[in-house]
Chain A
Amino acid sequence: MIYLDNAATTSPKPQNVKNSVSFALQNYCANPGRSGHTLSENCAEMIYNTRSKVADFFGVSTPEKVVFTQNCTQSLNILINGLFKAGDHIIISCYEHNAVSRPTFAFSKKGGSFDVAYVYDDDEQTVKSFKSKIKRNTKAIICTHASNVFGKKLPIERLGKLCREYGLLMIVDAAQTAGVVDINCEKMNIDYLCIAPHKGLYAPMGVGILVTDNKPEPFVLGGTGSVSVDLNQPDFTPDKYESGTVNVPAIAGISAGIDFVKKSKVLYDHELRLVTAVYDELKNNEKIRFYHHRPDRSYVPVISFNISDVSSEKVAARLNDFGIAVRAGLHCAPMAHYYMGTQKQGTVRVCPSVFTMDSDIEKFISVTNKIAKEF
């Protein structure tokens, strides 16, 4: 199979990640931070070391701010549900995934409000769009770092600056960018960062990362292995947000995934070159439509297209017949499709990984041209 659905989850996982997960199941099979025996302590140490590695990799001031959640969606929900109150206003972008737009909409039904800022090719215009939405009661900008459908990166650093200027919180959904492009929370004025480690960090599924302080109100309460006499949830990170046993093998996988990404220095260049090849080779086919200009460094390596007015699901199914895995439909980001006018057809999304070879892309191009002739 030629796997081009890496924006959903990277596949395959690197060997060192598989080894690390397997090692954890054999050697860290204990409950970290709960018991005093050596196995539990070793496990806790591995988790602490992973927190430190994550903090270091994403420019976070201290490891305690790194919280392990179930997934990136849960991380975003903790923030959107836990930071704001009725009467508050937040700004999101037109490219948001439902992980942001659904909890934001739910917040608006509980007395909050939100506005949607548009994203343009010109970053200046994008920043202006966000700025124009700021109101007296605006508390935060919450936005994706890059569209999971069209790959367009948002000018996070400049939006972070805007937040500082207006005293707003900057919350970033880095599901599509963490591990792919550099992120430094301190330098980029990011207050809260949400990460899907199973994507750009090549870690296993079932674990998310939230970079946070202790301000959001958690919605899951329970055992943390600390201050257990108190019926109140601990007020410090990471315990405040880590009730119950964390996903130890997956966290071991995050550690190995970061090592892998650090070693693969050309990861972004390689993938961008591949999506550019897709664009260059298919743009001359009059039946194929892309939705933006040739991918450049203002994009992550994600590209969407359609064949004439054929359903994107039909095209994806046909590609699957040839052993090519892509994702079609709305990609859980209906707002992005409404913005681009593709809400009826969806798009066929292609996303390579560091493991995608030139020959895979050549085959994909050839098969897509062949399929286009069928319609």
Chain B
Amino acid sequence: MDRELIYIGSITRAMKAKEILKSHGIMAHIERTTDTLDTKGCGYAILIFDSSKAEAEKILSKHNIKLSSK
């Protein structure tokens, strides 16, 4: 199973992103990440399975969800 991570700054945004992706039929899971620890500090990532990261990011951008870079 392919795993893709989308970085998101806050838990509220991550929750909203998960909800939006679910409504588009994309299964997502919230994960605490250390990948951004030195650049952003504590953060969250949306883990998506079996879907295109680009497609998910497009959907989230459409809903004004600000994504974090790594």
Give the contacts of B31-53 with A (CB-CB under 8 A). 31-32, 37-43
Known: A227-B43, A229-B38, A229-B39. A64 touches B9 (CB 8 A): no
**Stretch of A14-22, A100-108, A141-149, A231-239 on the interface side:** A231-239
B16 lies within 8 A of A227 (CB) = no
A225 lies within 8 A of B42 (CB) = yes
Tier of interface size on chain A: 20 to 34
Query: CA of A33 to CA of B9 in the docked complex: distance in angstroms?
Result: 11
Known: A36-B31, A36-B32, A236-B66. A64 touches B40 (CB 8 A): no
B7 vs chain A, min Cβ distance (A): 11
A234 lies within 8 A of B9 (CB) = yes
Give the contacts of B1-54 with A (CB-CB under 8 A). 9-13, 15-16, 19, 30-32, 37-43
Residues of B within 8 A of A51 (CB): 12
Known: A36-B31, A227-B40, A229-B40. A64 touches B11 (CB 8 A): no
A245 vs chain B, min Cβ distance (A): 13
A234 vs chain B, min Cβ distance (A): 7
A226 lies within 8 A of B16 (CB) = no
B41 lies within 8 A of A63 (CB) = no
Residues of A within 8 A of B42 (CB): 34, 225-228
Residues of A within 8 A of B30 (CB): 41
A308 within 8 A of B: no
Q: Which A residues fall within an 8 A CB radius of B?
A: 32-36, 41, 44-45, 48, 51-52, 62-64, 224-230, 234, 236, 238-239
Q: Is the interface of A mostly helix, strand, loop or mixed?
A: loop
Query: CA of A225 to CA of B44 in the docked complex: distance in angstroms?
Result: 9
Residues of A within 8 A of B15 (CB): 44-45, 48
Closest A residue to B13 using CB positions: A64
B31 lies within 8 A of A33 (CB) = no
11 A-B pairs whose Cβ atoms sit less than 8 Å apart in the complex: A32-B11, A36-B31, A64-B16, A224-B10, A225-B10, A225-B11, A227-B42, A230-B40, A230-B41, A234-B10, A239-B12
Closest A residue to B38 using CB positions: A229
B19 vs chain A, min Cβ distance (A): 8
Closest B residue to A228 using CB positions: B41
B9 lies within 8 A of A236 (CB) = yes
Query: CA of A227 to CA of B42 in the docked complex: distance in angstroms?
Result: 6
B41 lies within 8 A of A226 (CB) = yes
A33 lies within 8 A of B12 (CB) = yes
B55 vs chain A, min Cβ distance (A): 22
Known: A35-B32, A36-B32, A41-B30. A227 touches B12 (CB 8 A): no
B32 lies within 8 A of A226 (CB) = no
Closest A residue to B66 using CB positions: A236
Counting chain B CB atoms within 10 Å of each CB, which of A45, A226, A227 scores highest? Answer: A226
Closest A residue to B29 using CB positions: A41
Residues of A within 8 A of B39 (CB): 229
A224 vs chain B, min Cβ distance (A): 7
B12 lies within 8 A of A48 (CB) = yes
B47 vs chain A, min Cβ distance (A): 12
Query: CA of A237 to CA of B55 in the docked complex: distance in angstroms?
Result: 25
Residues of A within 8 A of B41 (CB): 226-230
Counting chain B CB atoms within 10 Å of each CB, which of A35, A44, A225, A234 scores highest? Answer: A225
Residues of B within 8 A of A41 (CB): 30
If A33-B11, A225-B11, A239-B10 are given as contacts, then 19 extra A-B residue pairs at C-beta distance below 8 Å, sorted by A number, are A33-B12, A36-B31, A41-B30, A44-B11, A45-B15, A48-B11, A62-B16, A64-B12, A64-B16, A224-B10, A225-B42, A226-B43, A227-B41, A227-B42, A229-B41, A236-B10, A236-B66, A238-B12, A239-B12
B66 vs chain A, min Cβ distance (A): 7
A156 vs chain B, min Cβ distance (A): 27
Q: Which of these, B11, B31, B37, contacts A226 with CB under 8 Å?
A: B11
Closest B residue to A35 using CB positions: B32
Closest A residue to B11 using CB positions: A33
Q: Which of these, B16, B32, B66, contacts A63 with CB under 8 Å?
A: B16
Query: CA of A64 to CA of B15 in the docked complex: distance in angstroms?
Result: 10
A63 lies within 8 A of B40 (CB) = no
